[in-house]
Amino acid sequence: MNTQYAPNSWEGRAMKTVMAGFTDLPTMQERGPIILTHGEGARVFDVHGRSWLDANSGLWNMVAGFDHTGLQDAMVEQTRKFPGYHAFFGRMADTAVELSEKLVEVSPFETGRVFFTNSGSEANDTMVKMLWMMSEVEGTPQRRKIITRINAYHGVTAVASSMTGKPYNSWFGLPLDGFLHADCPHFWRFGLEGETEAEFTARMAANLEEMIVTEGPETIAGFFAEPVMGAGGVIPPSEGYFQAIRPILRKYNIPMIADEVICGFGRTGQLWGSQTYDIQPDAIISSKCLTGGYMPLGAVILGDEMAERMQAASEKIEEFPHGFTASGHPVACAVGLKAIDIIMNEGLLENCQAISPYFMQRLKEFEAHPMVGEARGIGLMGALEVVSDKPTKEPFDGSLSVSERLANACLDNGLICRPLGQAIVLCPPYIFDKALTDEMFDKITLALNDVQAGLGR
């Protein structure tokens, strides 16, 4: 335990009792945890009255800020009316029906069906079970393999972790059998010397088809992809990537599922990342911005054909034997309805679109910094990848924890951003304006210069 904190302090109590996830423990031991009490706009405050500008929208999701009265009122009003229920046995809350209708209405699909979960991880897990169930009922039980991509992130349940192409999952003995990871379509990092972006995209598609043929297309249940790899480090696909792989998936009758947990509801500049990249998915996974972060909620949105298949499979065995106690929670669904309304009709999406060009302009300016190898992003999401040598793109030695140093230097300057691998990630709330954007990037400039000086470079 960090002895600089008294046992009865907030920090001391947290160090003693909280098992922190996705936390750099040496940093936590050295610096202690930050115990937050509330938020105002895009800022959060701790027990000591200190404040930070949150450039990560909480965890990608607090797009309306931390004190939106409309979302708060929707939560309170629904709690007073009907505070909790499930969606089992043909009984469900009216708000679950309304939100299902709204999600289909605003989706890329003409018709469809929605299944609610509590998180994006559970939604991806649910979608895999749906694919497996359809294969069993339709007489193709060998069709169980799931393809995702290296460096993709799809969640933390055992199945979603198996989909996540991150090396840390090996500590859990994952992935499970039958989970395959295709190439990461990051041209800057994985393009070959002399290879054009178009040639790189063609190679990604050819490698995917080779994997499908080698594994046997008759054994593959589905292909999952984020429009932009979010927790992989904000990695937009190479140009033409989805247009290159979509015909391959159709050729082998492999469903395409768009994981829109991060990209959905405006983050890429359009309502869906699938629209930004013309993905044409068979199903969509949604969470995070679905409630503006104010309540836990996830959703599987099945497109027309997938919905018909799933309904037929369920009817054949008389039910879909799957669900969660809080599936279709009436309060979460009420907040979801309000969040969609404020994103689409109260100017949040428009502001995101308006500020995005300036956000990207300021982001790209960092490519002139000696430590920044790539400044990448789209819409209102971006990343700065640091390198020890710009011409060779050589990363810093992992023992230096450079991205963690950068994130900590940002904290010291009153800014929250997230270290991911050799990058720091930015995904500010949609309420950002030019002044907040400048404040964010000015603080990052200070942090980069501080870390550069500390490394003696």
Render pLDDT for 10-62 as a digit per residue (tens, 0 to 9): 999 999 999 999 998 998 988 999 999 999 999 999 999 999 999 999 999 99
Render pLDDT for 361-411 as a digit per residue (tens, 0 to 9). Answer: 999 999 999 999 999 999 999 999 999 999 999 999 988 999 999 999 999
Asked if residue 2 has pLDDT above 70, the reply is no
Residue 130 Rama label (left phi>0; alpha psi -120 to 50; beta): alpha
Render pLDDT for 117-149 as a digit per residue (tens, 0 to 9). Answer: 999 999 999 999 999 999 999 999 999 999 999
| pTM attached to this predicted model | 0.95
Mean pLDDT, rounded, for 426-451: 97
pLDDT at 1: 37
Mean pLDDT, rounded, for 322-328: 96
pLDDT at 457: 60
pLDDT at 368: 96
Give the CATH number of domain 34-67+348-455.
3.90.1150.10
pLDDT at 71: 98
The CATH class given to the 71-345 domain equals alpha beta
| Domain ranges, ordered by start, for the chain | 34-67+348-455, 71-345
- With beta carbons less than 8 A apart as the criterion, state whether 151 and 232 touch: yes
Residue 261: phi and psi, rounded to 5, are -55, -45
pLDDT at 33: 94
Asked if residue 354 has pLDDT above 70, the reply is yes
% of the chain surpassing 70 pLDDT: 99
Distance from the first to the final alpha carbon of the chain: 34
Contacts 24+ apart (CB under 8 A), 447-452: 447/406, 447/409, 447/410, 447/412, 447/413, 447/415, 448/366, 448/369, 448/371, 448/372, 448/384, 448/406, 448/409, 450/409, 450/412, 451/371, 451/402, 451/405, 451/406, 451/409, 452/370, 452/371
- Is there a shared CATH topology between the 34-67+348-455 domain and the 71-345 domain? no
Asked if residue 165 has pLDDT above 90, the reply is yes
Render pLDDT for 333-345 as a digit per residue (tens, 0 to 9). Answer: 999 999 999 999 9
